[in-house]
Structure 1
């Protein structure tokens, strides 16, 4: 293994620039860098999914899937390294006061990086990553979960990071089930796979936005937030398993 094999400038730039944007929320204060540590893996997963979706759009050339996956995984690896570097900050208070200006600046920076990432991996840019049906289904189910939770549980307004990722898992599973019924005609897999991967991407972006604007709703009642490898690795593993299956199918 050479150094060049584990270095990718675009992936590294995406992770660092995105986390610097998140740092603007806390005005780059070292005493409040837990937000950076918590946002690292979701941002890495978002970059990973952007890379995967762009590769699936070029399904006519399956030989490019494996190299593309390697680059996409590096985004997640870099984010994991940042999380590890800031692991001691996880004992800090995540619910401190944040200025609206800082939140807006952080959100704007993350949005700019997302736009840059999508346009740099595909000539279609944002258009390839926008699927209104997915957004409507995810929003509708989230509202339903909110309303039911408000009726039956006083803690409905907490721990939304796990709930949102759960919605992403649900959309991913629904898309895969739909895709399995179309394996005999691989050219029709596109919409089902788009629903799967975009569900995960949208839920990940929603978690990042929630961490910036309403961290108190993202955490549990005790103020804890578990978005570590135990949450992220199963998602990445499932995505890779689907990609391996597609590679074999399309060969």
Structure 2
């Protein structure tokens, strides 16, 4: 899933720009949006969903309408943030996510006006923009240029879309996470850097080699970069195979080859020190 954020001052035209992006991206794939809505409450205390939520429910899902007329679903959750919202869109197999607001996030941003001290700015447009065709095309290009975001569920959905899945008897997955405790040492986080384009080439080579093996129908790999906290996911591997006897060796080979062949550097942060792991090996 490609993710782009639109930020600017209040009433600077963010919603108009987001709407134009959504209209154009929807011709290229499925689109989801996330909007920062301030402090307003969508499930007031005098509604049934509000009463459920205030009583202590962690998740409340409201469904309106009937099956014949079509339904709408809204979900209220506690301790839900932008990352969770994006993962939820990704889990649904959405191709593009357009975020309105959240100027403090680390997302790639299209900035309207002279808003300053914003990180990861990939494009700027003037206030009171005229969304002409040339500018819209440029913004779509900016969105398409962003790196792909994946969840495990999104990769499984992608594997299921492969026509070869009709021959599959199993889908197996591997999820690598940040180990917090190793002996007496506590790791708070890891930081990963990819040496591109070589890292992507190495992962593609591993995928293609494994797909040549008997019974292996699909191989998908996604390795995250940046800072990843203890307990969080690092790498996903999804393999579809005709039989389980072919599946498990392929999963093991995939992760071993990623560690040995892909130029992805890992920095470890413990209670006592921080260091690049390859310097210790």
Which of the five TM-score ranges fits, normalised by the shorter chain?
under 0.3
- TM-score between both structures, scaled by the size of structure 2: 0.25
Which structure is richer in relative contact order (CA contacts within 8 A, separation 6 or more)?
1
The structure in which a higher percent of residues are helix is: 1
The structure in which a higher percent of residues are strand is: 2
